[in-house]
Structure 1
Amino acid sequence: MEAIKSSKLLKGDGGPRSIKKITLGEGSQFKYVKHKVEGIGKENFSYSYSVIESDVLMNTFEKINYEIKFIAGPSGGSVCKSTSKHYTIGDIEIKEEQTKSLGNVQGR
């Protein structure tokens, strides 16, 4: 099963404010995700983006922001740290368990 069927840059050059559409594979429960690149930190090895359009948002979320950062590991190598912030539409309240299931599509 292919996780990603295709990826297309819709706006920009891949840097901040760029938008890309990722079409997910046939085995996925979701069809596509549009990412907006928020920032790239070359000096601190970070990348941040928002999911701005997708069936992943399930008419519940306005957007989801992700930040990925690589830091030096305690015994060499590196450690990847990821955080997310979910913005709901209106007054919708979401439980933490519901947002954890969305983590499966974040890196796509």
Structure 2
Amino acid sequence: MLIYKILRADEWAALREAGTSAGAPVDLADGYIHFSTAEQVAETAAKHFAGVDGLVLLAVEADGLGAALKWEASRGGALFPHLYGPLRMVDVLWSQPLPLQDGRHRFPEGLS
């Protein structure tokens, strides 16, 4: 199963350069890296990244993260994937720009 992480351009550049990341400021504050499922990611973008341009969407295979990935209740009681460990560049299957179009983020086919 693929799970998704939204990063700002500078966070994405830092991950590519270092090969690993402890996450965005919100991840550091919460103690884990926030991910979303395909069904959750558009709402995550709207709630936490409204109007923010220059974002990048990352896809990661959940099974490859092992025991460090926990599914925990969050927004509305839905289970969200949380990574208790670093995000490694080798775990990123693909990345794609997440451009703004008419005030909303344009997701790849099948994720909007």
TM-score (norm: length of structure 2): 0.28
Structure with larger RCO (C-alpha < 8 A, sep 6+) = 2
Bigger Rg, which one: 1
More helix by share: 2
